Structure 1
């Protein structure tokens, strides 16, 4: 393969400035509660406008597609050639950090701005994308923008409601988007040569290896389950232990099994949300609701995990004469990154004198969905203490610049 061309250096100060500016949108007043930009809220829509303005400032062709994905295009020399796509998301979890998703979008913008400033002429157009609702924190299901682009978004998604009773359909309309036109966001596989995403690692592998960047080889696929258990709410003092239909105890048994099942299969399992009702100190809980997040890089092993969770819920509820129901809120297959893109990233690391470090990805990303329609690759940037989805989330200015330099080199190689 031909050598990479390096004629410019990433502007570290400028990249950091945009990261800190975006972090102000949705930030808590005292900063201690982090950043909250849930999908299609006022804060997230303001973030979209910030990204749009940045893209316009550097001369990209900017548009918002039918589901709110923000796309900025740097035209290549061949208008008929497929595009190289790069990006991430700017929505956050409740009380999230400043880097998750945002680094991938702003780093992509900075890399493309550096290409423009160097007056490089590339055959393939580069499209920087900020996807709508990767996190799924507001409506309970994520990857909305990438699913729409890949043609796998389901119409029933728009009937989901947030905790305030607002439906996705209503949120779309409030954002001046037409939910009936979501299929207009679909992109054909022949339109996209490759998709590459830079993201903070959200783990400690790079930190423990004392490395600023790494190359992802595989991505775990998540399954999200909403579990509801219904027993009887009775008096805490008057009801004998042998006569109770306590939904909270059944839930506790299942929570322990989640840990055992995940460890047994080499995956991960998390109970992240729990609610018991009626919620009185002297009332036996008649209803328990909770979520289960299961992940694995192997689809077959993950299927075994899901099956065993169902068996565990059924067994515990049958023993206690409790009714149960499970809704599958999200199910995305695990995937592997393109060997060609992984190789290209290795060559870019060597060119930049970065040690080559390959690692798996435990979190879900839009890359998972985009792999269904194109070749896909990911760059990881070191996370301090492995912290993520937390106000303490941190990646240093220097590490962010290193990741963006690697992204810059990769885009040149993919688009030339």
Structure 2
């Protein structure tokens, strides 16, 4: 494992260097199609070239590196993740899954290990959706999922997606050239920090992802009647906030009872005065599960409770869905190979679902996908306190190396 330990130190040093590229002097913030995105692509391309890879940037701004196979007309196998961050983010989310496999390619070059496929590493330009509000722009371009309606997307400064592409040296109308569905990739593998505490609680460095949870999101509007806090009797109030509190507790109760995750993360109250009964509220609901049917069944029960609470309190309820994404099941064969590889490293195999979305969700539209999670400190992510251990990275590198060997055989 010592060879992987020194390689892990290289990976950590590169992640530190990449983490300095930010559009803010105060925290890490690197968004799609910015000058900092371009700078990150150039830096990672340098490391890819040093590892002996051919590099290029596609029509959507994704960075590629290829370790070519000597086999004529060889297919491609893809490993990757994203290079963008959320504002005030961490330096491992996404970037680990690009930098670690580049280090493995460097090792493969030294051993002259023959591959029956091209090994492609991709650094996606946009996974987080922070700049234009629509996630997975980079990986969805690979699958041909690039709607014309995205030409209307704008960032917080009013700059449109086509204009941002143009300033990056690209063209919105040419993004379809990034589509690789015709090449029929053999598969896609993504190494990513867990962004949760499960592996840490299990005292394990890595785990195999079974599925990526599907999510549905809603805005819920509750309308009652505002009134004076001192003059309206308790039994005559149409208090939207009191009803909303009941609804929020119902969400928590149903999620705990039925084994899904559901969150009310945002709430607005009107008039929001210290001496005024709440007249209306709006709150968000995010509900997720690796089983879409189960998620939707629990959601139906939650909505029934919402309606019952509103009816009992004589309030008006309006529900608007704002997002829907189906769950993605990871490929059983690739999961099996990952488990074998991890076991060969002397690590107990452990499976877990992903509650967060990843580029693998888009890639699953065209090929089998798998993910390996790496333990992160206290499960913290999307935060400067995001932290991983060098020795865990060494385990992940060893498992990646073994996985590539098994795929080749």
Matched, 1:229 2:221: yes
CA distance in 2, matches of 1:189, 1:288: 49
The 1:53–1:298 alpha-carbon spacing in structure 2 relative to 1, beyond 3 Å, is same
The 1:230–1:83 alpha-carbon spacing in structure 2 relative to 1, beyond 3 Å, is same
Aligned to 1:26: 22
Aligned to 2:361: 368
- Give the C-alpha shift of residue 230 in structure 1: 7.3
Unpaired stretches in structure 2, ≥5 consecutive residues: none
Aligned to 1:59: 52
- Give the C-alpha shift of residue 365 in structure 1: 1.4
- Give the C-alpha shift of residue 389 in structure 1: 2.1
CA distance in 2, matches of 1:163, 1:314: 36
The 1:281–1:208 alpha-carbon spacing in structure 2 relative to 1, beyond 3 Å, is same
Contact 1:261 1:305 survives alignment (8 Å): yes
Matched, 1:40 2:29: no
CA distance in 2, matches of 1:229, 1:316: 13
Contact 1:245 1:322 survives alignment (8 Å): no
Aligned to 2:149: 156
Contact 1:161 1:167 survives alignment (8 Å): yes
Matched, 1:16 2:8: no
Task: Tell me whether 257-266 or 71-80 shows the greater mean CA deviation.
Answer: 257-266
Unpaired stretches in structure 1, ≥5 consecutive residues: 1-5
Task: Tell me whether 61-70 or 169-178 shows the greater mean CA deviation.
Answer: 169-178
CA distance in 1, matches of 2:268, 2:160: 21
Aligned pairs for 1:226-265 within 5 A? 227=219, 229=221, 231=223, 240=232, 251-265=244-258
The 1:383–1:248 alpha-carbon spacing in structure 2 relative to 1, beyond 3 Å, is same
- Give the C-alpha shift of residue 195 in structure 1: 0.5
- TM-score normalised per structure 1: 0.84
CA distance in 2, matches of 1:278, 1:98: 41
Alpha-carbon deviations, 1:68-95, whole Å to 9, x = none?
2222111111241210100111222332
Contact 2:11 2:100 survives alignment (8 Å): yes
Contact 1:86 1:196 survives alignment (8 Å): yes
Structure 1 SS opposite 2:249: helix
Aligned length: 406
Alpha-carbon deviations, 1:101-151, whole Å to 9, x = none?
111111121112221233323121011111232223344432222222223
- Give the C-alpha shift of residue 298 in structure 1: 0.8
Aligned to 1:3: none
Contact 1:383 1:395 survives alignment (8 Å): yes
CA distance in 2, matches of 1:70, 1:117: 23
Aligned pairs for 1:107-256 within 5 A? 107-188=100-181, 190-225=183-218, 227=219, 229=221, 231=223, 240=232, 251-256=244-249
**Aligned-CA RMSD value:** 3.3
- Give the C-alpha shift of residue 348 in structure 1: 1.6
Aligned to 2:320: 326
